[in-house]
Amino acid sequence: MRKIGVLTSGGDAPGMNAALRAVVRKAIYHGLAVVGFRRGYHGLVYGEYQEMQLGSVADIIHRGGTMLLTARSPEFMERSGREQALQVIEKSGVDGLIVIGGDGSLRGAEALERLGVRTVIVPGTIDNDIACSDYSIGFDTAVYNVTDAVNKVRDTATSHERVYVIEVMGRTSGHIALAAGLAGGAESILVPEVPFDLAEVCDRLQRGVKRGKLHSIILVAEGAGAALNVGEEIKKRTKMETRVTILGHLQRGGTPTAFDRILASRLGAAAVDLLRSGSHGKMVGFRSSDIHVTSFAEVLAEKKEFPQELYRLATILAI
Ligand code: F6P
């Protein structure tokens, strides 16, 4: 192996830059050349790439987003797009590719691997919905961002004695809602993985008021339903003053936490080592505080486990 390629794909996640830095510097340390493809798989299809030097990744470890840019490439989903990508890969001279991204990126990486491109994936998504890894890059920062927002909303919620329904991201998963709900002391956490009954949510709110609670926070994962509808329903059923806040993309931005930077540095470096050792078609994940390598097939076959125990704990503590 003489030259490797790297790209970031799908929704950006804080820490992707730290992962790029690790890939580039670890590869150069071992005498490999590195090429960075821009805008994810789009860069593979259209031949948008740049040679990466040590200095290309200077001063980015603390920055959110991704310096290589990212995209969701419809062209790459087509067979013709992937064939075009193969030609670009050949022309660029890379012998192996590291893809940093989430679920869609994993599927793209698997397609490339089947076409004969040696590919390794590093899980990078705030959703934390990738199986076979306890964490994906960006999740910790998103949870931090949401918890910070919940703290702020709590100030105004208490002052006005209101119910606040806060919608958070996560696509079809409730990992962000659960972690931030537990950290932020939410009264109820609505996630797609656990069936819920709005009547019970309202009862809980009313029991709280009877005990003297001045405010309540309800976290809704976007995959569990629209916060606007939840808020309307709560207002109708309880007659309590209710407001809805949709956090949106602010939860995906900002400086990555130290945890995400360290995770990204370790996973990026491990991805280079994996390719160097001749192994590919695998994801470099993180389990029980250590690097955990799993084949694409296994990751795709497994559904990310939802921490039901943690959910029960959050419910008990918000009694
Ligand atoms: O996958 C990351 C994510 O932020 C999801 O939580 C969310 O559903 C989606 O991306 C939003 O996508 P976009 O940035 O394209 O609107």
Catalytic residues: 127
pLDDT at 6 over 90: yes
pLDDT tens for 258-284 read: 999 999 999 999 999 999 999 999 999
As for ligand 1, residues whose beta carbon falls within 6 Å of it are 11, 102, 125-127, 169-171, 222, 252
- Ligand 1 atom nearest residue 171's Cα: 8
Segment 147-175 shows an average pLDDT of: 97
pLDDT at residue 108, rounded to an integer: 97
Closest residue by Cα to atom 9, ligand 1, is 171
What is the C-alpha to C-alpha distance for residues 290 and 292, in angstroms, rounded to an integer? 6
Confidence of residue 319 (pLDDT cuts 50, 70, 90): confident
pLDDT at residue 133, rounded to an integer: 98
- Ligand 1 centroid from CA 302, angstroms: 22
Segment 133-143 shows an average pLDDT of: 98
Mean pLDDT of the chain, nearest integer: 97
Residue 22 sits at the vertex; the CA angle it makes with 16 and 23, to the nearest 5 degrees, is 90
Confidence of residue 88 (pLDDT cuts 50, 70, 90): very high
Closest residue by Cα to atom 8, ligand 1, is 171
Taking only Cα atoms into account, the Rg of the chain, rounded to an integer number of angstroms, comes to 21
pLDDT at residue 277, rounded to an integer: 98
Place of tokens 């390629």: 5
pTM of the model: 0.97
What residue ranges do the domains of the chain occupy? 3-138+256-301, 141-253
The third-level CATH classification (topology) of the domain covering 141-253 is Rossmann fold (3.40.50)
For 137, which DSSP code? Answer: B
- Ligand 1 centroid from CA 238, angstroms: 32
Name the β-bridge partners of 292: 285
The third-level CATH classification (topology) of the domain covering 3-138+256-301 is Rossmann fold (3.40.50)
Of all residues in the chain, what percent carry a pLDDT higher than 70? Answer: 100
pLDDT at residue 218, rounded to an integer: 98
Comparing 3-138+256-301 with 141-253, is the CATH topology the same? Answer: yes
- Ligand 1 centroid from CA 171, angstroms: 7
Strands 282-287 and 290-295: antiparallel
Segment 5-18 shows an average pLDDT of: 98
What is the C-alpha to C-alpha distance for residues 104 and 297, in angstroms, rounded to an integer? 14
pLDDT at 74 over 90: yes
- Ligand 1 atom nearest residue 176's Cα: 6
